[in-house]
Homo-oligomer: A and B are copies of this chain.
Amino acid sequence: MELTVYLAGQIHDNWREQVEEIAKQKNLPLTFVAPQTNHERSDHIGEAILGEQPGKVYKDDAASDINNLRTQVLMQKSDVVIALFGEQYKQWNTAMDASAAITMNKPTIIVRPTSLIHPLKELSNKANVTVETVEQALDVLAYIYE
């Protein structure tokens, strides 16, 4: 049984590559999809397609139109969602994607450092599983195939 996994969360390190690497090592039949991970590209995609906007608010809104379409398409095609929170940044998109996934009944795994236990407690509680490392998240997915 092949599963598609949406990898929500921060785009400032290579955690998605780690995920794919571990899945490969474990021989799991998983396809991974994700938001745009090139931060520059993500911020500029609105103007890149729709042309220059009259200020930052409008540039941001144009980019969001297209980023949200991408997320909606890919999340609807996914069977499971992993949402990773890092120590930095506000990461409201991660919270938004995790909450949308849970509300859509997508089985959801949250990955977060122990420093974020308290501020993420309600979201962790709504998710299926909360872990601290991507290795653990993949252990959970591997368990589906045991």
Contacts and interface: CB of A to CB of B under 8 A. Distances in A.
Interface of A: 1, 3-4, 31, 33, 36, 38, 41, 45, 48-50, 54-58, 60-61, 63-74, 76-77, 79-80, 89-93, 95-100, 102-105, 107, 109, 116-126, 128-131, 136, 139-140, 143-144, 146
5 contacts: A1-B31, A36-B143, A65-B129, A100-B103, A103-B104
Contact of A58 (B58, B69, B109, B146): B58
Contact of A107 (B72, B89, B90, B107): B72
Nearest to A31: B1
Contacts of A130: 65
Smallest CB-CB A-B distances: 9 pairs: A64-B125, A54-B54, A99-B99, A95-B95, A103-B103, A69-B128, A60-B121, A96-B99, A90-B119
Contacts of A144: 69-70, 73-74
A60 to B, nearest CB: 4
B66 A129 contact: yes
Nearest to A95: B95
Give the secondary structure class of A's interface: helix
A83 to B, nearest CB: 11
Given A33-B1, A122-B67, A126-B68, A76 B56 contact: no
